[in-house]
Amino acid sequence: FDKQYYHNLLSKKGLLTSDQGLFSADEDVVASTTKALVQTYSDDGEQFFSDFGASM
């Protein structure tokens, strides 16, 4: 459970088809928000864990 998950989405190698589909969806508000989060978490794994912890 680390930022490699997000690297895989960026490389179109998502583990779950549904996750890759959300990331690869046509441009719309949800897709652009999802893409921004994937890019952020791919670059900064600590940010993911901080956001994840805050959401719990």
Binding residues for Ca(2+): 2
Concatenated DSSP letters of the chain: --THHHHHHHTT--SSHHHHHHHHSPSSHHHHHHHHHHHHHHH-HHHHHHHHHHH-
Binding residues: 2
